Structure 1
Amino acid sequence: MEAAPTQALRVENIAKRFGALTALRDVNLHLNQGEVLGLIGDNGAGKSTLIKILSGFHKPDEGRILVEGEEVALRSVEHARQVGIDTVYQDLALVNELSVYHNMFLNREKIRWPLLNNRLMRRLAKQHLDDMGVNIQDVTVEVAKLSGGQRQAIAVARSVYSDARILLLDEPLAAMGAKEGTLILDLISDLKARGTVSIIIIAHNYAQVLQVCDRVNVLQHGEITFDKPTSQTSQQELTDLVVAEYRAGRAARAANNRRSNP
């Protein structure tokens, strides 16, 4: 009998409220070791709130989080990083005016007292980017001068280099052209092949989710309503789920308006 896969991350019965607004009701989710999980859902479904809870930015009102089988109460973003969870947001948290290698070592600078050891950081940054297949010819160039795809790749590489075992990617392909998007998809595929990092991707492009993810979850009304291997679903099925939710919401709003304005 085939053994069950090891879980890198497990979320049980997570709920989060902001005053009268319930963002998450009862979220149950798991991420297997070395797996890439796609998380999709309409705007306002609670995806960003869930990612902020997993990254230590928000505390859940209910539920629990287990990392590699051990329950953790994440106190902060730094604490999440200490237990191996790192997040790459759309804004990347890169400093445009700094070089590639300085960004790679941001807040983790190598020191040769009393100065920064720039030579070592340049060498290590180039070596790590090359190892990950990220083609940056000159690591001394300012990040602002690079393409969106290159900047995204540097942000991902920085997280992996800092020993993240669970990587949360918030819309890593947003507003990218085909060439830049392919660069990031290839990087994610390479990480998946290594099997040392487990990844959750928030995305709106279902074709890209099906291309690079092992499994897909749909978040609706603050709960996970759909969980399937990507090999067992389709772009049409995922689209139909989200469209049905949108139409149901529109019908409910129309009914409320009729009751309010008879």
Structure 2
Amino acid sequence: MIDHRIFEDLQTKIDEESTVRDEVHDIVQTLARKGRSTQAILSRAHSTPTDQVKPILDDALTEILAQKEEVARLKAVADQHPFYKYNGLWTRELQNLVVSIELCAWLGGLQEHKGPSSASFMTIEDVGKFLEIPVNLKEKDAFHLTIEEYLLALISMVEELSRLAVNSVTLGDYGRPVQIGNFIKDLFAGFQLLNLKNDILRKRSDGIKYSVKKVEDVVYDLSLRNLIPKGSAAA
């Protein structure tokens, strides 16, 4: 006869896992809610002149810092359990947070958190230092920001910047599309150096070239109309 205590023990383990998932889910839901608020604030940059964007960045930073607190709560719980067993619960929201951080930094915010080698964006080390979490952990099983999450966030950032290039023209800012074009072409060149094994990451990174072309078309149209300020291309 099979000892039914075996199944009782399994049920106990299932209940324990369910409790952990519920606790993580509650934190992730709060992180997602605050993330949507951050994204809503940053979206105002698409309809705001460059010289008036600072209040938006200040508001966005406030929300990002609120999300940082939720990440600290998440880390405290996640560090007690196997990372890859539960990280699917928060990976999307963590990526979205990194996108917001990168956009805020690119638009001129978070200056004190950028490293000396990252004038236009924050490296994975910069992001980890800002959020006070490890990055790309190998030596132990604990909460961290993975390289894949960081790269996917950069791809989303490129897509958002290509939108900003178009909307900047609507606002009469003809220099910003050139600036965006130069940046995302540099970023695309960097991605081409990577030998990506992750299917999702490889497919998403292939889409960068369409964002590059979209911005190049905008810059081309501006150049035909002699609307690009002198010195913008060199900058």
Q: TM-score, normalised by structure 2?
A: 0.28
In terms of Rg, which structure is larger? Answer: 2
More helix by share: 2
- TM-score normalized by the length of structure 1: 0.26
